[in-house]
Amino acid sequence: MNRSAAGVPVLLLLAKVTSAADLSPADFAFGMPVATAANAAAYRVALPLGVYQGVAREDLADIRVFNAHGEVVPYALRRPTARTLSRGPGTALPLFALRDDSRAAADAVRVTIDSPTAAVKLQTQGTIAATGAIKQYILDGRPLAVPVAALQLAWPDDAADFTGRLRIDASDDFAIWRTLAEAAPIANLHADGRQLVNNRVELAASRAKYWRLSWIGKSAPFELTAVVAEPADGRIEAERSTLEVAGSARSGAPGEYEFDVGARLPIERINLRLPELNTVLAVELQSRRQTQDPWHHVATRQLYRINTADGELLNEPIDIATDFDRYWLARTVDRSGASTANPLRLQVAWTPSDLVFLARGEGPFIVAYGSALAPAAETDLSSMPTAVTVMRATLGARRELGGPARLAQPAAEFPWKRALLWAVLAMGVCLLAWMAYRLSKEMDTSLPGQR
């Protein structure tokens, strides 16, 4: 028994060698300091593009939060989702009428905005805006705090009968307008004491600073007295980050462009910026994770960029299932509607994850990221009491910690631990064999007639 116990110190030494060491900030490539406005038990920061570009793992497992003493603090990653708000009453928007059926009425408009909260002032040249039917209305949507789901029109009770169609556009700068409703039907009919009124236009939930209502064809013989913006269904989409990258033409493949977004982002929305006005282009979008992987189909859409008297008309972005691929390909399906002499530009949008951490220990805290060796260490904070206030914080400028070398997989080293384990096992086998041999010799000498 004493002989077999001789191997115990060696096994204890092996256990000590194989224990994992704690990571420090220097084990990560980069870091960003956390700036807090006040003391709190927990903080929340939104991960910027730089973190996605600097991590080594797609699942963001190589992220840590350290306190001032270099100690790891508990953290968790959360993807923001749409928030549900109680639906409030509609908001009557300031209404400005533009008269006359000619385009000169719109061209003659001059817009003045005194302050972010002041009303829009519209001035026109000459007498164009003083006579003729009302062709367009401009709405000031800056008082709105939520997306709009519908516009409710109002006109005088004794207004003349009318049926027609209304186009609704939205803009944030009076230069580029996007169409939300091409030809919404409007009706105000009366017969035999009955009436048929259709004065509500439903829209996809949208937000805009300014709205434009334009009669298609004939104008209504009455003037709108009010337009009420009805709030959407109460769902507020999480704020998205955006990135735009230029494409490069594929050699030997006319009409195909490749893009590298430079990171594995959770892309939820894509679009292509067409380089030339008055362009209509059918495009198939594909993506892949690595340059050696095959392309897979994502979406096929008709894209356009049209210049009109009212400004540019652009196609809406394309919503897709979350795609983490870094490399993208745009293949023109029908090149008859566009010149591809100038490269396309890819626009992507994603919802950045929030990093929530507990303020354990002393600050300042630093978010470290980028390590090919760091294992997953995220903490489940779902059971954190609701009474704990999680305060919003921000991240400072990136700084180097261990440098970009931490992102590379280290060269294979001699497996000392495995070799030591096999050596210990071999020593144990030899020890057992020697003990068995000695025991057999002692038994042989102790048997009668064996002397």
**DSSP state for residue 107 in the 8-state scheme:** H
Which stretch of 8-22, 224-238, 333-347, 354-368 has the lowest confidence by average pLDDT? 8-22
Q: Are residues 255 and 334 in the same domain?
A: yes
Q: Are residues 262 and 320 in the same domain?
A: yes
412 pLDDT above the threshold of 90 = no
The CATH code of the domain that includes 199 is 2.60.120.260
SS3 325: coil
Short-list 54, 77, 55, CA closest to 378: 77
Q: Are residues 134 and 160 in the same domain?
A: yes
113 pLDDT above the threshold of 80 = no
Per-residue pLDDT tens over the stretch 33-87: 999 888 889 999 999 999 999 999 888 999 999 999 999 999 999 988 766 555 6
Is residue 382, in this structure, part of any structural domain at all? yes
Q: Which residues contact 69 (CB under 8 A, 6 or more apart)?
A: 361, 362
**Strand duo 354-358 + 42-46: pairing:** antiparallel
Characterise 337 by phi-psi region: left (phi > 0), alpha (psi -120 to 50), beta (else): alpha
Higher confidence at residue 176 or residue 413? 176
Token pair, residue 233, equals 């269904």
Token pair, residue 348, equals 């992507």
Q: Are residues 215 and 185 in the same domain?
A: yes
**Strand duo 296-308 + 279-288: pairing:** antiparallel
Domain extent, residue 429, equals: 414-446
Is residue 84, in this structure, part of any structural domain at all? no
15 pLDDT above the threshold of 60 = no
Q: Are residues 227 and 109 in the same domain?
A: yes
Q: In whole angstroms, what is the distance from residue 201 CA to residue 215 CA?
A: 13
Q: What is the mean pLDDT of the segment spanning 142-169?
A: 90
Mean pLDDT, all residues of the chain: 81
Short-list 36, 41, 75, 80, CA closest to 374: 75
Q: What is the mean pLDDT of the segment spanning 295-315?
A: 82
Token pair, residue 51, equals 């973190």
Q: What is the mean pLDDT of the segment spanning 173-195?
A: 85
Q: Which residues contact 445 (CB under 8 A, 6 or more apart)?
A: 451
Q: Are residues 213 and 106 in the same domain?
A: yes
Q: In whole angstroms, what is the distance from residue 365 CA to residue 93 CA?
A: 46
Is residue 321, in this structure, part of any structural domain at all? yes
Instruction: Please report, for residues 36, 279, 338, 362, 438, the alpha-carbon distance to residue 333 in angstroms, rounded to integers and kept in the order given.
Output: 50, 14, 11, 58, 85
Is residue 451, in this structure, part of any structural domain at all? no
Is residue 14, in this structure, part of any structural domain at all? no
pLDDT band for position 303 (cuts 50, 70, 90): confident
Q: Which of 70-79, 107-116, 271-280 holds the top average pLDDT?
A: 70-79
Short-list 94, 96, 181, 91, CA closest to 145: 91
Q: Which residues contact 248 (CB under 8 A, 6 or more apart)?
A: 257, 258, 259, 343
Q: What is the pLDDT of residue 137?
A: 94
Q: Using alpha carbons only, how large is the chain's radius of gyration in Å?
A: 34
Burial class (CB in 10 A: 0-12, 13-18, 19+), 211: buried
Q: What is the mean pLDDT of the segment spanning 266-278?
A: 90
106 pLDDT above the threshold of 50 = no
Cβ atoms of 393 and 44 within 8 Å: the answer is: yes
Which stretch of 65-79, 307-321, 373-387 has the lowest confidence by average pLDDT? 307-321
Cβ atoms of 210 and 138 within 8 Å: the answer is: yes
**Strand duo 162-171 + 235-236: pairing:** unpaired
Cβ atoms of 332 and 340 within 8 Å: the answer is: yes
Q: How many domains does the chain have?
A: 4
Q: Which residues contact 429 (CB under 8 A, 6 or more apart)?
A: none
Q: Are residues 232 and 246 in the same domain?
A: no
pLDDT over 90, % of the chain:
41
Which stretch of 138-147, 156-165, 232-241, 337-346 has the lowest confidence by average pLDDT? 337-346
Kindly report the number of other CB atoms within 10 A of residue 213's CB atom.
25
Q: What is the mean pLDDT of the segment spanning 334-347?
A: 69
Q: Are residues 112 and 168 in the same domain?
A: yes
Q: Are residues 106 and 230 in the same domain?
A: yes
Q: Are residues 248 and 262 in the same domain?
A: yes
Q: Are residues 132 and 46 in the same domain?
A: no
Token pair, residue 144, equals 């709105």
Task: Give me the torsion for CA of 304, 307, 313, 319, rounded to 10°.
Answer: 30
Final residue in a domain of this structure, among 350, 378, 399: 350
Final residue in a domain of this structure, among 206, 236, 266: 236
Q: Are residues 139 and 192 in the same domain?
A: yes
Q: Which residues contact 4 (CB under 8 A, 6 or more apart)?
A: 431, 432, 435
Is residue 13, in this structure, part of any structural domain at all? no
Q: What is the pLDDT of residue 289?
A: 93
Is residue 119, in this structure, part of any structural domain at all? yes
Is residue 41, in this structure, part of any structural domain at all? yes
Instruction: Please report, for residues 155, 169, 218, the alpha-carbon distance to residue 246 in angstroms, rounded to integers and kept in the order given.
Output: 49, 29, 44
Q: What is the pLDDT of residue 436?
A: 79
Token pair, residue 273, equals 């910026």
Task: Give me the torsion for CA of 313, 315, 316, 317, rounded to 10°.
Answer: -130
